[in-house]
Chain A
C-alpha cells in the first residue's frame, strides 16, 4: 500500500470518526448518570440541522470561522433538545427507551418541517464554508509521520480525540465526575450523601445533548455539506454502539468510534484499496453493528453497564 493511500485512509477515518467520538462521549456521560440515551440519533439530526442552517445564514459575516461557530450552535441546540429527554425521564418518570425514541421520531420530522418553513423546500442548499483539509503548522513537515497524520487531515478528528481525554479526566479525576458516576450506580446511596440526584442526571443528559449536537453539526459540515432527512442515517446508533463497545468509558468509546469510523470510511473508499476491492461493501457497512452484537453477546453480557442505568430514581418523601 502506498504512503498516499495510507494517508488518505487515516484522514478519512478521522473525518468519519469525529462525529461518532463526540456523540459517543455524550452517550457515556448520560448513561454514566443513569439515563439510557437511545435519542443520540435524533440529537445528531437536530445538531446537524442547526449547524447547517447557521452556517448558511452566517457564512458571509463569519467567513472561515463559520463551521466552528456552527458546531457550537449545534451543541447548544442539542442541549435544548435533550432537555426534553431529561425532563421526561428524570422528572416525569418516563421509560428511557420510549422517551429516547420520541427524540428520534421528533428530530427528523421537526427539522425537515423547519427547513420547509425557512427555505420552502425539503433540503437546504450546500453550505459554502465546510471543514476542509487541515495541515498542522510545523508538525506536517515531519517526514513520513507528518505526511500520514498531520497533513491535509481532519482538524475535528483531533479535537474529538482530545475531548475524549478531557472527558476521561472529568469523569474519573474530578468531584463532578465521581458524583455523576455515583448517581448512575446507586442513586439512593448518592442521595443519602447529599448529592442532588436529579441535578446530576440533568447534567449528564445535557452534556449528551451538547456533544451529540456537536457530533451532528460536525458530520453535516464535513461529510454531507447540506441538510435533508437523510443527512444523519444511523450514525447516532453507531455512536450508541461505541458507548457500549467502549464499556461506558470515554477512552473506550473513543477507540470504538475510531474503529467504527474506519469501517465506515472503508465502505466508502474500500474500492481503491488493494485486497479490499473484492470484499462487498455490505460487510463493511454491517461491521459496526455486527461487531457490537457479537461483543455484547460473547464478552460482556449485562455485567458492565452502570448499575442504575435506565432505572428511574423516585425520591421518597
Chain B
C-alpha cells in the first residue's frame, strides 16, 4: 500500500527537508525564514513575466535531466552534461550566426540538429571508452567537461570569424530568424525570455517516455542497466546499447544547451566555468528518480526556486541560500535510506495493530 506512494513520498520528503534545512540556516544567521520564503514565492509567481521566466529556466533543465535519466537507466553515470550542453550551445550558435538569413523553420531545425550532433558526439566518447575499454565513465565525463569548456572557449576566441564577434569574449546576437524567442510568447508573458524551447522540452519528455515504455531500444537500455550480463546472455549487445544511450543522453544535453543559448542568451560567449544547467539537470533527474514524466515537475521546482531567489534580497538574505537549499534537497535524495527506514517502520507499526 505505502510502497506505491514511495516514489512520490520520498522526493516530497526530500524537498521539505531541504526547505526546512534552508530555514534553519536562515534562523542561525539571524534571518527571518518565513519572510525569506514569502519573498521567494512572491517573486517567482507574483508576476506574469516571472512565470514566463520560470518556463524559460525549466526548458534546458528538462533536457539535461532527460539526458541524465537516459544514461542512468543504462547504468551510466553521465556527469558530463555541462560539457555536452556547452558544445551543443556553441555549435548551434555558430550555425545560426553563419546562416543568419535562412528561412526560420529550416534555420531552427538546423540548430536543433547541429546541437544534437555536437552533444551526441561529446556523449559518445565516454560511452565508447566505457563500453570497449572499461574506463570509468564518471572520471571521463568530469574530465570531458573541462576539455570541452576550454575547447569551446578556444573555438569562440580563435576560430569564429571576426565579423561574428561583438568583442573578444562574446559573439553578436543571432538573427531574429534563429532566435528561439517569439513575438507572441513575449507578448503573452510581459516580455519575459520564455521561448519555444519549453515546447521542445515537452516533446522530448514524451519521446523519452515513449522510448522507455514502448520500444525495444528502451527495453534494451533498461536491461543493460539492471543486469548487463543477463542482457548479453539474452542476445542484446550491451556495448551497442551503452554507446547508443550515451549518444541519446549527450544529444539531449546538447539540445538543452542550444535552448539555453538561443533561447535565453541569444548569443555565444566565453564561459569561465561549467554550465550550471549540467549539474542542476542532474539534480532534477535525481529528484525525479529518473522518471521522464516526473522530470518536468522537478524541473519546475528548480526553475521556480532559481527565479524566486532574487526576491530573497528583499528580506536581506543572500540569494545563494537557494543553492544551499537545492544542494540539500539532493543530499536528502541521496540519503533516501533514512526515509525508507522511516516509512518502513511506519508500515510495520500499522501491520502490528
Interface residues, chain A, with chain B CB atoms under 8 Å away? 36, 38, 84, 88, 92-95, 97-99, 101-102, 104-106, 108-110, 112-113, 116-117, 230, 233-234, 237, 240-241, 244, 280, 282, 285-286, 289-290, 292-293, 296-297, 300-302, 305
1/0 contact string of B229-249 vs chain A (CB within 8 Å): 000000000000000000000
Task: For B341, give the chain A residue with the smallest CB separation.
Answer: A92
Contacts of B338 in A (CB 8 A): 92
Q: How far is the CA of A246 from the CA of B150 in the complex (A)?
A: 24
Q: How far is the CA of A297 from the CA of B272 in the complex (A)?
A: 28
Q: How far is the CA of A259 from the CA of B327 in the complex (A)?
A: 33
Closest CB in chain A relative to B265 CB, distance in Å? 19
Instruction: Tell me if B142 and A38 are in contact (CB < 8 A).
Output: yes
Contacts of A99 in B (CB 8 A): 331, 334-335
Contacts of B151 in A (CB 8 A): 282, 286
Instruction: Tell me if B134 and A302 are in contact (CB < 8 A).
Output: yes
Contacts of B330 in A (CB 8 A): 98, 101-102, 105
Instruction: Tell me if B327 and A102 are in contact (CB < 8 A).
Output: yes
Closest CB in chain A relative to B162 CB, distance in Å? 17
Closest CB in chain A relative to B345 CB, distance in Å? 15
Task: For B320, give the chain A residue with the smallest CB separation.
Answer: A113
Interface residue SS majority, chain A? helix
Q: How far is the CA of A101 from the CA of B328 in the complex (A)?
A: 11
Instruction: Tell me if B272 and A230 are in contact (CB < 8 A).
Output: yes
Instruction: Tell me if B146 and A117 are in contact (CB < 8 A).
Output: no
Among B133, B150, B331, point to the contact of A88 (Cβ < 8 A).
B331
Interface residue SS majority, chain B? helix
Question: B215 on the interface (CB 8 Å rule)?
Answer: no
Question: B154 on the interface (CB 8 Å rule)?
Answer: yes
Instruction: Tell me if A234 and B146 are in contact (CB < 8 A).
Output: yes
Among A93, A110, A282, A300, point to the contact of B324 (Cβ < 8 A).
A110
Contacts of B143 in A (CB 8 A): 237, 241, 289-290, 292-293
Closest CB in chain A relative to B306 CB, distance in Å? 12
Instruction: Tell me if A292 and B139 are in contact (CB < 8 A).
Output: yes
Question: B321 on the interface (CB 8 Å rule)?
Answer: yes
Question: B41 on the interface (CB 8 Å rule)?
Answer: no
Among B77, B135, B337, point to the contact of A94 (Cβ < 8 A).
B337
CB pairs A–B below 8 angstroms (9 shown): A99-B334, A102-B327, A105-B330, A280-B154, A280-B158, A293-B144, A296-B139, A301-B135, A302-B135
1/0 contact string of B121-157 vs chain A (CB within 8 Å): 0000000010001111011101111110011011000
Known: A237-B146, A286-B147, A297-B129. A105 touches B326 (CB 8 A): yes
Contacts of A302 in B (CB 8 A): 134-136
